[in-house]
Amino acid sequence: MNNIQRWSALAEKLGKAGYAIFDTAKLQITEKGFADEKIIAVTLLARTMSNLKGTMILISEKRIVEARTIARCCFENQYWSTALIEEGEQFTRKMVDDEMKHRTARGQLIFQNGLDLDPDVSARLRGWLKTTNQRYADAKTLNPKQVASVHAIGKSYIFYSQISSDAAHPSVASLNRYIVPHTPNEIGGIDVEPIVSENEIVDTLNLLCLAVMGVCVGVNQILGGTPGGEVLDGLATEYVDLMTATKSVNPLSPEASQ
């Protein structure tokens, strides 16, 4: 197998491990509902499995910008699952505060932009905004950099930042991939379908596997350990061995930032 195939195989194994954690978790819906850390954890795992599938489909079509953008979501999932481990119920309250802060902000935008609403709808929305703003007056929003920086996973934010810049945002770096420079023999231009290098695909798969593994390990820990999660130690070893075999840079090593 070539390097892309080997990394893809590891990603598929991680996907199977994620589903095995679901299948073997002893989880009950409690009165706490979404305020239960375990419920949030498994929904983060569900989101990660979807992100993993989406990234792999895009990589198979060589849509590297879109693949890296969705792989970035897996790092967010890892930050949130790590915060759940370290803060527990306190972080679930922060998530609720974040949700309500964003909902009220969207409600206020409706009036700020002068959208035409039915008078009854407008009155109900104004009443809800008034009550909710009072109840969540001290609420703060969450963002990936903030969540990552105060937890053990903080070092990995540099990779989230990198794929944000070179793929997720219309930055100079991300747009530059479509520029064909002038050469002594040819005039440059714009390439709508730039060639995707094997190295960038491998790098994307490396980052994807790192983040997905982090979510699986974290969620498995929050659930108290599951039979499905017993394969994770072996997959972690396989990840390290694969980096060595393919001469990939460990995303968490000092060399990665050079």
Predicted confidence at residue 256, as pLDDT, reads 43
Model confidence at 253, pLDDT cuts 50, 70, 90, reads: very low
Residue 198 has pLDDT above 60, yes or no: yes
Predicted confidence at residue 30, as pLDDT, reads 65
Delimit the domains of the chain by residue range: 3-89+148-257
What Rg, from alpha-carbon coordinates, does the chain have?
22
Residue 186 has pLDDT above 70, yes or no: yes
Predicted confidence at residue 252, as pLDDT, reads 47
What integer is the mean pLDDT of 54-63?
A: 97
Q: What is the pLDDT of residues 118-176, one digit of tens each?
A: 889 889 998 999 999 889 988 999 999 999 998 878 889 999 999 999 999 999 999 99
Model confidence at 100, pLDDT cuts 50, 70, 90, reads: very high
Is residue 81 within 8 A of residue 214, CB to CB? The reply is yes
As a whole number of angstroms, the distance between CA 237 and CA 231 comes to 10
- Cβ count within 10 A of residue 83: 25
135 Cβ partners below 8 Å, 6+ apart?
Answer: 100
Structure tokens, 194: 């730039």
Higher-pLDDT residue of 34 and 103 is 103
H or E segment to which residue 179 belongs: strand 179-180
Structure tokens, 31: 């009165």
Burial of residue 54 (CB within 10 Å: 0-12, 13-18, 19+) is middle
